[in-house]
Amino acid sequence: MRTLKVALLGCGVVGSQVYRLLAEQADDLAARIGAPLEVAGVAVRRPSRARAVEIAPDLLTHDAMALVTRADVDIVVEVIGGIEPARSLLVAALSAGTPVVTANKALLAEDGAALRRAARAGGADLYYEAAVAGAIPLLRPLRESLAGDTVRRVLGIVNGTTTYILDQMDTCGSGFGDALEEAQALGYAEADPTADIEGFDAAAKAAILAGLAFHTTVTAADVYREGITGVSAADIASARTLGHVVKLLAICERTGGGVSVRVHPAMIPRTHPLAGVREAYNAVFVEAESAGRLMFYGAGAGGVPTASAVLGDIVAVARNRLAGTRGPEATTYADLPALPMGQAQTRYHVALDVADKPGVLARIAESFARHEVSIKAVRQEGRGDDAQLVIVTHAAPDAWLAACVADLGAMDVVRAVASVMRVEGEGDE
């Protein structure tokens, strides 16, 4: 019986778990694939360094390029992360017809197109289930289960750090700074939390999700990005009054001739399937034309869950390799334009501290009308000097809404714009 040889690039948090599972599940994997797997080599930066798993010294190499281009390697598994040398290694493998399984979020979000081109040129499989939302199966559901359907919209909670901080602000009433400090103390946020709280991590995942959902090329640079540093206790309180909760969302929408891909905090109804997602869990809500509303939920990160996703891909790629065929990637890659944020259809929640005088609402409503923004609901809270108008709009181009809010802030009857936040997911429950 033929043996399939696997080249493992990287042996860190995920790689060591992949190595361990390949050994521990060897019999089961061989049965499911129809042939045994064998690790041909493990490329690491420092072969002599101590590792979480024991690896035969003769398998370790620091020459990753020599490993991926070995004629006897059947599958390349990349868990190094980062752009280079990962990109050069994977392009070399794919161009030579060797299938690739990768968990490299950054590379796929920045230059997934280069990998897809190489995969097409070499006629090789490119699988990356582990690159977005950890162990949650998304690649196959989006690429295969919905292959006869059309995805309209994806809403994802794909960053655990921001989920934790926003949840703390909601349950404990703490401000952003305090919640961030606590998250850092507990290890939920890194010492430099920029990638998480400014939405860079979520934007990379949004780019990959949009590509999967709409069969098009979206890079992280195409994604409008707004982090959670501007979310105030007043925003959270406003959301609560509305029966909503604030989450950092990755949003991908198929819209008139293009796609809108964006990451920003938004209020969603507490009854929305995404509202209950907490701590390190991720969830991706998908709306498809025929299938309707779907949600996928699970561990968004972690060495073992991510390794499970890598192994699922290895099985698929190995089976294709044995059968001399390829998976369904790339058969119909479109090139839909990414629309600028100003053209995205959004809805706003606006809380205005106003002077409680006759005619105030009329003047404010007139300002919305001038910007062609339709008001869905308006509510006055408090009286006299404490009066606040809370307005929820219907959908309109984001630029119109932003311009309207700027105008409102300049009106003499408006003492302050207490809270502005987009609203998503109403009617999804």
The catalytic residue positions are 205
Asked whether position 36 contacts a copy of itself by CB under 8 A, the answer is no
In the complex, least distance from residue 314 CB atom to a copy of itself, rounded to whole angstroms:
6
- 269 is a site residue for a copy of itself (CB under 8 A): no
Q: Report residue 379: phi and psi, to 5°.
A: -145, 135
Does residue 3 interact with a copy of itself by CB under 8 A? no
- Give residues 288-317 in contact with a copy of itself (rule: CB under 8 A): 288-299, 302, 304-305, 307-312, 314-316
Per-residue interface string for the shown chain with a copy of itself, residues 143-162, x marking contact by CB under 8 A: -xxxxxxx------------
Q: Residue 257 and residue 120: Cα distance in Å, rounded? A: 25
Q: Which two tokens stand for residue 99?
A: 């299938």
For position 185 contacting a copy of itself by CB under 8 A, the verdict is: no
Does 325 bind a copy of itself (CB under 8 A)? Our answer is yes
Please identify, using beta-carbon distances, which residue of 8 and 92 lies nearer to a copy of itself: 8
Assess 213 for contact with a copy of itself (CB under 8 A).
no
Q: Which of residues 326-355 bind a copy of itself (CB under 8 A)?
A: 326, 328, 331-332
Least distance from a copy of itself to the Cβ atom of residue 3, Å = 17
- Closest approach of a copy of itself to the CB of residue 134, in Å: 8
Residues 6+ apart with CB under 8 A from 242: 267, 349, 390, 392
- Closest approach of Cβ 80 to a copy of itself, in Å? 20
- Report in angstroms how near the CB of residue 316 gets to a copy of itself at its nearest: 6
User: In this structure, what token pair is assigned to residue 43?
Assistant: 């490329």
Residues that bind a copy of itself (rule: CB under 8 A) add up to a total of: 63
Closest CA relative to residue 367, chosen from 326, 320, 401:
401
Tokens standing for 401? Answer: 């809404």
Q: Which residues of 260-294 are buried (b: 16+ CB within 10 A; e: fewer)?
A: bbbbbbbbbbeebbbbebeebbbbbbbbbeeeeeb
Strand, helix or coil at 275?
A: coil
User: Which residues have CB under 8 Å from 36's CB, separation 6+?
Assistant: 1, 3, 4, 26, 29, 30
- Burial pattern 31-70, b for ≥16 Cβ within 10 A else e, equals eebebebebbbbbbeebeeebeeebeeebbeeebeebbbe
Among residues 2, 3, 28, 62, the one that binds a copy of itself under rule CB under 8 A: 28
Query: Which span sits near a copy of itself by CB under 8 A: 104-112, 118-126, 272-280, 392-400?
Result: 272-280
3-class SS of residue 157? strand
Q: How far apart are CA 15 and CA 17, in angstroms?
A: 5
Q: Which listed residue (7, 73, 139, 154) binds a copy of itself by CB under 8 A? A: 139
Nearest residue (CB) to a copy of itself, 21 versus 68: 21
Q: How far is the CB of 140 from a copy of itself (least distance, A)?
A: 4
Stretch near a copy of itself under the rule CB under 8 A, chosen from 202-210, 235-243, 282-290, 373-381:
282-290
H-type alpha helices, 55-125 = 64-68, 86-95, 105-122
The reply on whether position 131 binds a copy of itself by CB under 8 A is no
Q: Is 273 helix (H, G, I), strand (E, B) or coil?
A: coil
Ordered DSSP codes for 382-399: S-GGG-EEEEEE--EEHH
Interface residues toward a copy of itself, by CB under 8 A: 17, 21, 25, 28-29, 31-34, 129, 135-137, 139-141, 144-150, 271, 273, 276, 278, 281, 283, 288-299, 302, 304-305, 307-312, 314-316, 319-320, 323-326, 328, 331-332, 429
